[in-house]
Amino acid sequence: MGVPLPQADGTEVSADGCGGSARISAQERRKAERKRLPPWFRTTLPTGNAQTRFNATKSNVHKHGLHTVCEEAQCPNIHDCWGRGTATFMIAGEVCTRGCRFCAVGTEKTPPPLNPNEPIELAEAIDRMGVSHAVITVVNRDDLADGGAEHYRNCIKAVHQRCPNVGLELLSSDLDGNLEALASLLNDLPIRVFAHNVECVPRLDSSVRDPRASFTQSLKILQEAKRLRPDLALKSSIMVGVGETDEEVVEAMQLLRGVGVELITLGQYLQPSWKHLAVDRFPEPTTFAEWDQAAREMGFTAVASGPLVRSSYRAGLLWEEATGGEPVVTRDSTGSAISHLNPSKELLATIEARLSSEHKIIGTNSRG
Task: Tell me the mean pLDDT in the region 67-82.
Answer: 75
pLDDT value at residue 114: 95
pLDDT higher than 60, residue 19: no
pLDDT value at residue 106: 87
pLDDT higher than 70, residue 360: no
Residue 18 resides in a domain: no
pLDDT value at residue 39: 82
Task: Indicate the burial class of 313 (C-beta count within 10 angstroms; 0-12, 13-18, 19 or more).
Answer: buried
pLDDT value at residue 229: 98
Percentage of residues of the chain with pLDDT beyond 90: 60
Give me the chain's average pLDDT, please.
85
pLDDT higher than 80, residue 200: yes
Least confident of 6-20, 259-273, 278-292, 310-324: 6-20
Residue with the bigger pLDDT between 231 and 22: it is: 231
pLDDT value at residue 77: 81
Q: Are 157 and 190 in contact (CB under 8 A)?
A: yes
| Entry pTM | 0.82
Residue with the bigger pLDDT between 14 and 320: it is: 320
Residue 36 resides in a domain: no
**What are the residues whose beta carbons fall under 8 Å from the beta carbon of 111, sequence distance 6 or more?**
93, 95, 96, 97, 139, 141, 143
Residue 368 resides in a domain: no
Q: Are 252 and 199 in contact (CB under 8 A)?
A: no
Question: Could you give the number of structural domains in the chain?
Answer: 1
What is the domain extent for residue 291? Answer: 48-351
Cα distance between the two ends of the chain: 61
Q: What is the pLDDT confidence band of residue 368, given thresholds at 50, 70 and 90? A: very low
pLDDT value at residue 144: 97
pLDDT value at residue 73: 67
Residue 39 resides in a domain: no
pLDDT higher than 90, residue 75: no
Residue 275 resides in a domain: yes
Nearest CA-CA partner of 69 in 324, 312, 272: 312
Dump pLDDT digits (tens) for 167-179: 999 999 999 999 9
Task: Tell me the mean pLDDT in the region 185-213.
Answer: 97
Residue 179 resides in a domain: yes
pLDDT higher than 50, residue 67: yes
Residue 13 resides in a domain: no
Pairing state between β 302-306 and 263-268: parallel
Residue 19 resides in a domain: no
Residue with the bigger pLDDT between 37 and 113: it is: 113
CATH of the domain at 114: 3.20.20.70
pLDDT value at residue 179: 98
